């Protein structure tokens, strides 16, 4: 059975007489790397469950709780939901900006109106997303006329804006009867076909690469046993060379200070190897070094001088 026939068979398994089908119209052809997965969502028709609410015309619409159920099943992402200025307020703001006069909101009958803008991302078979943005305004006058609580204006406005976006993205109807809502929603979702051999190999390779990035892995290069890194002395641009234990050219470093005790650019006593210290504010370390090299011809600390180290 080819992919198109398999797609048609999958769609026909959910007849419109039994299900509220939310199938994109473009789902007639599908690549071998993808497959159709259908999620079933049951909407509770009891008004106390808060999945639906009754409209003025007698039909029922989904609440935000019901919308979130369908969004989860369809893998829809709410990109943004924000409160915006209603159109009357935007007009006043533009006029105030042009005239440099403060808007008179105190006596305005629309000062309590609310507006919301919602953006959603609907997945596509190509792996990307289609963006849908919808805006809705709710006036205080209409809310009072419908005898709805004024304190719920913002939540109702956001839900209606979300419904507008979902209608465009998933093909939802603006209103349903109770008989229609009693049928479960069949939400088609295009996902990767993990049964395809090429796709399965690619996923395994990507998973292995992610594991190596998190916990380490792959080939690691180690130095030969008994080798160390040393700097060439006297070179302007120092470079690292590997010196083995059995090398005939290995320098004798038995009398040197261990590398972990060496500090670059610090003058030391040639007898005890202690750092040369300053002799007060007027005698910093550099001046002491110049004095010792001039008078003594070598760097020797005051302790070694007192003990006869000179």
User: Tell me: the pLDDT tens digits for 198-227?
Assistant: 767 776 777 666 666 666 655 555 555 555
Most confident of 118-122, 141-145, 216-220, 264-268: 118-122
- Say how far apart CA 291 and CA 136 lie, in whole Å: 85
On whether the CB atoms of residues 58 and 176 are closer than 8 A, the answer is no
Q: Which two tokens stand for residue 166?
A: 């979902």
Tell me: pLDDT of 181 over 90: yes
Mean of the per-residue pLDDT values of the chain: 77
On whether the CB atoms of residues 67 and 162 are closer than 8 A, the answer is yes
Q: Which two tokens stand for residue 2?
A: 């080819």
This model's pTM is above 0.85: no
What number of residues does the chain have?
310
Mean pLDDT of all residues in 286-293: 84
**Could you tell me the CA-to-CA distances from 69 to 77, 94, 184 in Å, in that order?**
12, 39, 12
């Amino acid at each position: 059975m080819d992919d198109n026939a398999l797609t048609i068979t999958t769609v026909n398994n959910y007849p419109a007489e039994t299900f509220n089908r939310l199938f994109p119209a473009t789902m007639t052809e599908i690549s071998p790397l993808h497959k159709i997965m259908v999620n079933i969502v049951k909407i509770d028709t009891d008004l106390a469950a808060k999945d639906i609410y009754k409209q003025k015309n007698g039909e029922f619409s989904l609440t935000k709780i019901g919308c979130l159920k369908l969004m989860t099943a369809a893998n829809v992402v709410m990109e943004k939901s924000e409160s915006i200025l209603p159109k009357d307020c935007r007009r006043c703001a533009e006029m105030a900006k042009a005239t440099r006069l403060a808007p008179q909101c105190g006596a305005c009958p629309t000062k309590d109106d609310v507006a919301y803008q919602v953006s959603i991302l609907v997945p596509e078979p190509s792996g990307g997303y289609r963006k849908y943005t919808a805006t809705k305004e709710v006036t205080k006058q209409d809310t009072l006329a419908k005898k709805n609580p004024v304190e719920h204006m913002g939540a109702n406005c956001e839900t209606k804006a979300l419904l507008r976006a979902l209608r465009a993205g998933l093909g939802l109807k603006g209103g349903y009867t109770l008989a229609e809502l009693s049928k479960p929603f069949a939400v088609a979702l295009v996902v990767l076909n993990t049964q395809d051999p090429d796709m399965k190999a690619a996923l395994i390779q990507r998973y292995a690469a992610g594991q190596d990035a998190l916990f380490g892995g792959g080939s690691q290069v180690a130095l030969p046993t008994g080798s160390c890194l040393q700097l060439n002395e006297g070179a302007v641009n120092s470079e690292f060379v590997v010196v083995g234990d059995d090398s005939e050219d290995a320098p004798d470093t038995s009398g040197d200070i261990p590398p972990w005790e060496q500090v670059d650019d610090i003058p030391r006593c040639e007898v005890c190897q202690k750092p040369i210290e300053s002799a007060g504010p007027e005698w910093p370390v550099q001046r002491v070094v110049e004095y010792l090299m001039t008078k003594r011809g070598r760097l020797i600390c005051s302790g070694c001088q007192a003990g006869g180290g000179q």
